[in-house]
Amino acid sequence: MLTHPAPLTRKLTRDLWRIRGQALAIAAVIAVGVMLLVMMTGLTASLSETRRAYYDRYRLAEVFAPVTRAPDRLAADLRALPGVSRVETRVTGRALIDLPGQTLPVQARALSLPDFHSPALNAIYLTDGRLFDGSRADEVVVLKSFAKARGLHPGDRLTVTMNGFRRVLRVVGFAQSPEFLYATAPGELVPDDARFAVLWMSRTALSAAYDMEGAFSEALISLSRGTDPQAVIAGADRLLDRFGATGAYALKDLESNRFITEEIDGLKRSAASVPPVILAVAAFLMYMVISRMIQAEREQIGLMKAFGYRNREVGSHYFRMILTIALGGALMGSLFGILLGRSMIDVYLIYYKFPFLVFRLEPSSFLIGFGASLLAASAGGLVVLRRVFALTPAVAMRAPAPPDYSRSGRVAARLSRLLDQPSRMVLRRITRQPLRIGGAVLGVASGLSLSVAMIAIIASFDAMQETTFSVIDRSDLNVSFTRAIAARSAFDLARIPGVIEVEPVRIVPAILKHGRDRYNGAIYGLVATPRLNRAVDAQGQPIPIRDGGVVLSTGLARTLKIGAGDHLQVEVREGRRPSLSLPVVAVADSLLGSPAYMALDGLNRALKEPLRVSGAYLRVDAARTAEIYRALKAMPMVAGVSVKSQSVAALERMMDEGAGAMRYVMALIAGVVTFGVIYNAARIAQAERARDLASLRVLGFSRNEVAFVLLGELVAVMLLALPLGALMGYGLTFVIAAAFSTDIYQIRPVVSPASYGWAMSVVIAAALISGLLVKRDIDRADVLSALKTRE
């Protein structure tokens, strides 16, 4: 077993204290990489495990089969399908809630529960109050997030419109459900607790409200282990088809589950891509520091070998230094990763409605974090340690041969005639040691590229928001109807005083198929030249809506493995529910979701339902919104109204306070890494030139002139690194944007001059701080001690 003599241990302590600034900077970079790894893997494990336990405990269905109206007897037929474990039927419907002081009603979804027992599937978690009494038709349990946002309490009363009839319900309790981890109003992507509610009532009461006695409008199905959901979905659609089935779908396609799955997958991608980059930077820094130290301690290495220390003991001394720095950084990173992960849990609870969410420490993340940090540091240091083994005592104790500069610096020699003495010294250093300067330039450029990428991602999120609500959606209100209605009825909206413009739209729910691939989605029928709700590509340019065919988003085309010229099979899930074969006329990038577009007239012709619309976008006079809201509220055909200003506010909250706040954490981390790189570059240059700088002081140079010789080199490194880092940052922005993008939304990279300006400001600020710290040490340096040190 290898032992470490006391003298080497004391030397290790002295060496670490002497390079404490550089050691702390490298440890900080390692800590950042490990912190991100621990935090992201911990969040991934926490969200995944809590979701799994929540789904299991409250028996969330694995297949959902909505239908217009099916008799209760069909439940037995569904249970007889191969692979089906349990079946629960229920009544569902859309509702509107009138609140005191609110002009517009709140959209809600009403769901039934068994009158006197717990449901076999999709149970709820009661957080306050009690469950409704099955014998009382006016009692209701409300989604907790809505109740909290609206200040409701058990015992309050709500005026609710169901199936066209108003009724007063008494709130008896609040609940959460695994079915609504991410609760959004119909047609919206961003949750707003105050604008969407879920109401649970007894099966008897809700059946009476929606004329569903002896019938159901949705079947919930759980599967036996190993059962293919698609086989059960096909069987359920076959049984329910003649009763108005709108298309069964698996749990993975449940909107709430899709959002949480995308979040988990995004964390996994980030954990696999960002920490390795940061740890690679730490390895590079370790290489630079240990390389300089071994070069400066050649004589000491020779003396240790002359006194009988073996190669492995000397090498082990420097390797212990590497391990000490790496382990210290990994330990700090683990602790900060736990703290940051726990703080992020509170952020996730704002938008994902778990009853609880505890940050779970994933043991593998610690093992991977420590292992990766040790591997990265060792990779940087072991390359240099080969020199220790190659040195014999005689060679090590002899001063190294001076480098041959006879063939270098010819251009510099011509320029030096125009420069003063300190400037010539800076120029000689750059031209005579290009590899060292190149390494420093690459390190600073790496830090700059990370800052450019993260600042650009922040700008990209802002640009996505601007594009969504200024380029795509130019309306003020979005009105949805209870069913597809005659187009002339939609244009009746234009007669409301204060409505400036009306643009109809038809959204048809459908199952899109190509070969064996399928997607539960919808076809969006737009007017020939949309103005208020436009389809745009990733560059913000309008997507031409061609008549006679469908335009697919790139993501949807990739899911269905289909291209322009192919035919898309469309099973419409409303009205007569025809099956259509539509040509794909184009595939275009999209910023939001996975849409399929058609010309409104062409869609209606294909459905053989001319002049029908299912909603409209309105541009209104802001001074008359209250009057417009009252008019819309009085229209029985209006199922819901979305106000764009409220959607914008909800998205801003999510980006600044919710999961989108992660990008600010990443930007801060980029700044820490950048500072660590620049500070180390400055410290290494100072250590390498300590004797030269002391000589200049003896020769009569002032402190400022001596500092200029060193800091001028740092400035030159910065000037060379800025364009390289800007170029590297441009490419890294696209990589990180792809990691942040999901099937639900795509981040379009925005690398603007402002992004470069802010990133360069971070680099310059780090350089100024590093320069001040180095200059302070130069001014305090002991000239005699530096002169006694051999090169």
Tokens of 203: 């099966």
Q: CA dihedral in degrees (448, 454, 458, 463; nearest 10)?
A: 80
Which amino acid would we find at residue 466? Answer: E
When mean pLDDT is compared over 97-101, 119-123, 533-537, 547-551, the highest value belongs to 119-123
> What is the rounded average pLDDT of the residues 194-201?
92
Q: Which of 262-266, 349-353, 365-369 has the lowest mean pLDDT?
A: 365-369
Q: Which of 727, 707, 717 minimizes the C-alpha distance to 678?
A: 717
Which amino acid would we find at residue 785? Answer: S
Class of residue 386 by CB neighbours under 10 A (exposed 0-12, middle 13-18, buried 19+): exposed
Which positions ≥6 away from 65 have C-beta within 8 Å?
78, 218, 219, 220, 221, 233, 236, 237, 240, 245, 248
What integer pLDDT is reported at residue 233 of this predicted model? 92
DSSP-assigned beta bridge partners for residue 165: 162
pLDDT class of 59 with cuts at 50, 70, 90: very high
Which positions ≥6 away from 453 have C-beta within 8 Å?
670, 729, 732, 733, 735, 736
What integer pLDDT is reported at residue 627 of this predicted model? 87
Q: What is the mean pLDDT of the chain?
A: 80
pLDDT at 690 over 70: no
Q: CA dihedral in degrees (673, 679, 683, 684; nearest 10)?
A: 40
Which amino acid would we find at residue 576? Answer: R
Which amino acid would we find at residue 534? Answer: R
Other CB atoms within 10 Å distance of the CB of residue 669: 21
> What is the rounded average pLDDT of the residues 718-737?
82
More confident residue, 626 or 200: 200
> What is the rounded average pLDDT of the residues 433-462?
76
> What is the rounded average pLDDT of the residues 357-379?
75
Residue 331 has φ and ψ, to the nearest 5°, of: -65, -45
DSSP character for 541?
Answer: P
pLDDT class of 57 with cuts at 50, 70, 90: very high
Q: Which residue has the tokens 């001319």?
A: 610
pLDDT class of 158 with cuts at 50, 70, 90: very high
Q: Which of 670, 676, 276 minimizes the C-alpha distance to 443?
A: 676
pLDDT at 169 over 60: yes
pLDDT at 399 over 60: no
What integer pLDDT is reported at residue 120 of this predicted model? 92
DSSP-assigned beta bridge partners for residue 197: 108
> What is the rounded average pLDDT of the residues 532-546?
74
What integer pLDDT is reported at residue 791 of this predicted model? 45
End-to-end CA distance of the chain: 35
pLDDT at 713 over 80: no
pLDDT in tens, 591-608: 666 778 888 888 888 888
164: left (phi over 0), alpha (psi -120 to 50) or beta: left
pLDDT at 173 over 90: yes
pLDDT in tens, 498-526: 989 888 999 888 888 888 888 878 888 88
pLDDT class of 141 with cuts at 50, 70, 90: very high
pLDDT class of 456 with cuts at 50, 70, 90: confident
pLDDT at 463 over 50: yes
pLDDT at 362 over 60: yes
More confident residue, 447 or 268: 268
What integer pLDDT is reported at residue 455 of this predicted model? 77
Q: Which of 89-98, 145-154, 460-469, 740-749 has the lowest mean pLDDT?
A: 740-749
What integer pLDDT is reported at residue 363 of this predicted model? 76
Domains of the chain: 1-58+255-401 (no CATH), 413-474+647-791 (no CATH), 499-620 (2.40.40)
What integer pLDDT is reported at residue 353 of this predicted model? 86
Which amino acid would we find at residue 570? Answer: V
What integer pLDDT is reported at residue 401 of this predicted model? 57
pLDDT at 1 over 50: no
What integer pLDDT is reported at residue 333 of this predicted model? 86
What integer pLDDT is reported at residue 689 of this predicted model? 67
What integer pLDDT is reported at residue 416 of this predicted model? 56
More confident residue, 87 or 543: 87
What integer pLDDT is reported at residue 385 of this predicted model? 63
> What is the rounded average pLDDT of the residues 483-498?
83
- Output the pTM of the full model: 0.76
Is residue 561 helix, strand or coil?
Answer: coil
> What is the rounded average pLDDT of the residues 763-770?
80
What integer pLDDT is reported at residue 789 of this predicted model? 52
Residue 511 and residue 522 in contact, taking contact as beta carbons nearer than 8 Å: no
Class of residue 624 by CB neighbours under 10 A (exposed 0-12, middle 13-18, buried 19+): middle
pLDDT at 400 over 70: no
What integer pLDDT is reported at residue 79 of this predicted model? 94
More confident residue, 679 or 689: 679
Residue 325 and residue 293 in contact, taking contact as beta carbons nearer than 8 Å: no
User: Could you tell me where the DSSP H helices lie in 297-362?
Assistant: 298-306, 311-351
More confident residue, 91 or 298: 91
> What is the rounded average pLDDT of the residues 205-231?
93
More confident residue, 67 or 270: 67
